Amino acid sequence: MGNTDNTTIWFKDDYSLKEINARGKDTLVEHVEIIVTEIGPDFLEGTMPVDKRTVQPARILHGGASCVLAESLGSIAANMVIDPTKYIAVGQSIIANHLRPAPEVATVKGKAKILHLGKKSQVWDIEITNEEDKLICSSRLTMAIIPKFK
């Protein structure tokens, strides 16, 4: 890792929310309006609206949309830990437990925290909560670290 003061897990010390959110332009992240809202020393947080793009026919958050939020936050975080000139982190496996519904009028928040930080793989724990901080979905994301495409 490039960070030398050991206060964070990030490759560089000066990631900005603007820079991180700009990387989602013209992607699924932008389409469902996922916004990274906080960078902590060992976590990344973001939000996603529960609206017509992210609900199931019962008008509650779709489980697949929860997985999109979880994998997006975990993937963004995973790529912030590695040297982007040499490697890319790609999703390998996601497990999600959907614990309670979120109504269409809500916004959900996801928090990705590192569980395993290896040279060839990473494991992230992502908890998605509602506006009352009640757990909606608990996810575990495994990322493969591969050489950057030429």
Are 126 and 112 in contact, with CB atoms under 8 Å apart?
Answer: yes
Q: Which residues are catalytic?
A: 71
pLDDT value of residue 1: 43
Q: Beta-strand (E) ranges in 19-106?
A: 35-39, 43-49, 87-98
pLDDT value of residue 2: 46
Are 108 and 73 in contact, with CB atoms under 8 Å apart?
Answer: no
Query: What domains, with CATH codes, occur in the chain?
Result: 17-147 (3.10.129.10)
Q: How far is CA 139 from CA 37, 57, 133, in A?
A: 19, 23, 16
Condensed to tens digits (0 to 9), the pLDDT of residues 12-27 reads 988 999 999 999 999 9
* Cα atoms in the Cβ-side hemisphere of radius 13 Å centred on 25: 5
Q: Does residue 93 register a pLDDT over 50?
A: yes
Condensed to tens digits (0 to 9), the pLDDT of residues 100-120 reads 999 998 999 999 999 999 999
pLDDT value of residue 51: 97
Kindly report the average pLDDT of the chain as a whole number. Answer: 94
Condensed to tens digits (0 to 9), the pLDDT of residues 123-150 reads 999 999 999 999 999 999 999 999 998 7
Locate 116 and state its tokens: 């395993």
